[in-house]
Amino acid sequence: MNNLIIDTAKEEIFLKFITKNKEYIIKHDNSRENFDELVNIVFNFLKENSIDLSTIDNVFVNQGPGKYTSIRSAISLVKALKISRNINIYGYNCSQITNNNHNILIKLLKEGRLTKDFIQPEYLN
């Protein structure tokens, strides 16, 4: 199973692709310029690592808490992938990630603790 994680809720834009045998990670500053370019950042990340969009089974998106615009950009992208490629999408919260271990999302998915197609953003005040 191939999994893409998109996290724009923190100080950095964090992308991670996890397969059975490999992991790829990239980070960018979470700035206005970068979340305006989020689609390009994600597609360049996939291209640089020779990842075909059609091979992605699940996309996980951090739904917050975080900056309104960065979270909305990520959620919009993930929903577009759902519609265009019929990819499973899952929302998660910052509190579910400890010690920057995003691999916990795979465990949470297997345990049934993440709900498919359920994205509920949480913004900072």
**For the segment 71-107, what is each residue's pLDDT rounded down to a tens digit?**
999 999 999 999 999 999 999 999 999 998 999 999 9
pLDDT for 125 equals 67
Q: List the Cα angle 68/72/74 in 5-degree steps.
A: 125
pLDDT at 18 over 90: yes
Helix (DSSP H) and strand (DSSP E) numbers for the chain: 4, 5
Cα separation of 117 and 109, whole Å? 12
Cα separation of 76 and 58, whole Å? 15
CA 48 to chain centre: 17
Instruction: Report helix, strand or coil for 87.
Output: coil
pLDDT at 31 over 90: no
Distances (CA, A) of 4 to 32, 81, 123: 22, 11, 22
pLDDT for 35 equals 73
Q: pTM for the full model?
A: 0.94
